[in-house]
Homo-oligomer: A and B are copies of this chain.
C-alpha cells in the first residue's frame, strides 16, 4: 500500500469507484386527517386518517400506487430531498418531517440496487393552498389489528388497496420484524413502509405532541380526541382524555357551532418553549 504524506495527497490519488456504487431514493409517507360527513344533521363528522399516494405512470409497477419520492442527487443534502418533494407535492415549506427508516432490500427495485430512506410527514389538509398534482390522491386508511396481524385498507373513490403483515415482535424496530402477508396495489416495498409508518405514528402520539401537526390552528377537544381515536383505532374515555391533554392546549374565546347541540370551545396547541 502506497504511503501518503497527508490527507490532501491521498485524496488526489483516490478512485471513487473502488467501492460498490448504487442509488439512494427518498420516499415520504404524507399523513393527514379529514372529516367524513355523517347522515344525521345532529351528529359530528367522523375523522378519517389518510395518506398521499401517487399513481405510477411508468414501469416498474406501472399502474400501481406508490409513495411520493425520488432519487437523491449526488450534490443534494439527504434532508433536502424529502423537502423538495414535499414542496412539489403540497406547495408547503414548513412541514413536520421525521426520518422513519432506511430500507435496503437487495431486490426492492427491479431496475437497480437502491437504498431507500423513508420519511414520515404530518400535515394539516386545511393548509393546502393548491390542488394536488395530477396522479396524486389521498387514500383513507382503515386499520385492523388482530392477534399479531396488521391490515391496512386504503380507499379512494373506486380504488381499493390493501396490505397486511404479520408482526413477529411486539415492538417493530426493523423490517425483519414484519412479514408481509398481502400486498394489493402498492409498488416496490411501499406496503412495508406504510405499515412501519403507521405503527410508528400510533406509538409516538402517546408520548409526543406530533399529532398537532395534523390539526388546524383551532380545534375542539372532541375533534382532537377523534383524531387520536382514529390513529389508535380505539375509543378513548372523554374525561380521561381531557385531563391528559389539558396542559397541551389553550382555550380560546371562540366556539364552534355545529348542529343541534351545545357549541364547543375552540382550543389552540400550547407550544412549549421550543418544538
Q: Which residues of A contact B (CB under 8 A)?
A: 1, 4, 6-7, 10-11, 14, 16, 19-24, 58-62, 71-79, 97-99, 101-106, 110-113, 115, 117, 168-171, 173-176, 207-208, 272-275
Contact = CB atoms under 8 A, between A and B. Distances in A.
Contacts of A208: 171
A171 B209 CA distance: 11
A23 B23 contact: no
A74 B19 CA distance: 9
B104 A77 contact: yes
Looking at A79, A104, A110, A273, the one whose CB has the most chain B CB atoms below 10 A away is A104
**Copy count, this protein chain:** 2
Contacts of A59: 4, 6-7, 10-11
Looking at A19, A20, A168, the one whose CB has the most chain B CB atoms below 10 A away is A19
A247 to B, nearest CB: 15
Contact of A104 (B22, B79, B111, B173): B79
Contact of A21 (B7, B21, B102, B173): B21
